[in-house]
């Protein structure tokens, strides 16, 4: 089994566009295409899935029309069996018009999750995809309810043979892995890709519970809001980028937007030298996340975060 190579900011870019909106049939296709073409022009990568409506078609067409080269993508694959995972890799290669997938997000459940923890057949299937050149790098998706499996594989050494990094919700309001796994990742110097850059909305929306924000996020937004002014950040976007991109081990942040002007700002500011948040602010945010991990996230049901 080949040994994973790791993943860097240069591989992904600091900001990666989440594409749930690119595949939303309720949105005008022309506007979705314009967003994808602008991402291609800016050199922004895509985080996508064949389950996101026609997002893969939009990405492929935008890359062709913009003549900027093949799209840089993180493709979500899984879930329960090795054959299913291999089939989804081939589906994404075809849908995106690529020769291979540069990065896959391994969404493991059922038998595949057990294989990952034990080094079983599912691990061998992923290794073959790599040696055959169908997949270059792998990120393991983790949630609080799957942190135990990821930790077991890391401790047994299976992770170093298969996984180049870890991907989970990571922003000022969420750090969706257990405290034990977070500490192990820090000790191992693991690469981390954080999802949900802005935690699903603007801070004003979140603190007022608008837009269908979950109650736990509303409470967290209210706890964090005073630290934005204390940090010297001019708004939620700057605060969130500075938090995510200067956190230990984080190589990229994945965020969704349907607005070209916001995409341009996220791309521009993530490429410049990112100033860390003041030490007091960062330490208080990390302390809150440790508390939230034990008091709430550890008890969350799958799919509830």
Nearest to 139 by CA among 78, 187, 92: 78
pLDDT of residue 194: 98
Judge whether 251 lies within some domain. yes
Q: Which tokens hold the place of 146?
A: 């799957």
Judge whether 69 lies within some domain. yes
| Rounded Cα gap, residues 211 and 290, in angstroms | 26
Judge whether 110 lies within some domain. yes
Judge whether 214 lies within some domain. no
List the CATH number of the domain containing 122: 3.20.20.100
pLDDT of residue 81: 92
258 to 60, 176, 177, 193, 225: CA distances (angstroms)? 18, 24, 28, 21, 24
What pTM value is reported for the model? 0.96
Overall domain count for the chain? 1
Residues of the chain whose pLDDT is less than 50?
A: 1-3
The enclosing H or E element of 83 equals: helix 82-96
Judge whether 119 lies within some domain. yes
| Rounded Cα gap, residues 290 and 235, in angstroms | 24
| Rounded Cα gap, residues 10 and 100, in angstroms | 18
pLDDT of residue 245: 97
Judge whether 284 lies within some domain. no
Nearest to 112 by CA among 79, 136, 140, 64: 79
Judge whether 123 lies within some domain. yes
Judge whether 229 lies within some domain. no
**Residue 76 belongs to domain spanning:** 9-202+247-274
pLDDT of residue 1: 43
| Rounded Cα gap, residues 76 and 288, in angstroms | 30
């Amino acid at each position: 089994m080949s040994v994973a190579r790791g993943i860097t900011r240069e591989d992904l870019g600091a900001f990666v566009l989440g594409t749930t909106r690119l595949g939303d049939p309720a949105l005008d296709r022309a506007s979705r295409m314009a967003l994808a073409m602008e991402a291609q022009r800016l050199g922004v990568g895509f985080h996508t899935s064949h389950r996101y409506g026609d997002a893969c078609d939009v990405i492929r067409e935008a890359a062709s029309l913009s003549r900027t080269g093949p799209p840089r993508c993180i493709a979500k694959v899984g879930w329960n069996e090795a054959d299913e995972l291999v089939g989804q890799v081939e589906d994404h290669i075809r849908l995106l018009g690529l020769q291979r997938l540069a990065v896959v997000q391994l969404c493991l459940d059922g038998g595949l999750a057990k294989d990952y923890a034990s080094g079983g057949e599912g691990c061998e299937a992923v290794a073959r995809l790599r040696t055959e050149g169908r997949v270059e790098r792998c990120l393991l998706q983790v949630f609080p309810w799957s942190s135990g499996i990821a930790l077991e594989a890391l401790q047994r050494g299976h992770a170093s043979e298969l996984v180049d990094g870890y991907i989970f919700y990571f922003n000022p309001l969420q750090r969706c892995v257990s405290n034990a796994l977070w500490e192990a990742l820090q000790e191992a110097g693991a690469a981390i890709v954080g999802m949900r850059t802005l935690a699903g909305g603007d801070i004003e929306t979140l603190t007022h519970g608008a837009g269908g924000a979950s109650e736990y996020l509303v409470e967290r937004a209210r706890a964090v809001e005073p630290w934005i002014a204390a940090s010297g950040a001019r708004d939620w976007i700057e605060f969130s980028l500075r938090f995510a991109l200067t956190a230990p081990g984080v190589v990229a942040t994945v965020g969704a937007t349907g607005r070209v002007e916001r995409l341009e700002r996220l791309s521009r500011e993530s490429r410049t030298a990112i100033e860390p948040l003041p030490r007091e602010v960062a330490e208080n945010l990390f302390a809150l996340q440790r508390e939230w991990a034990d008091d709430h996230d550890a008890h969350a049901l799958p799919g509830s975060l």
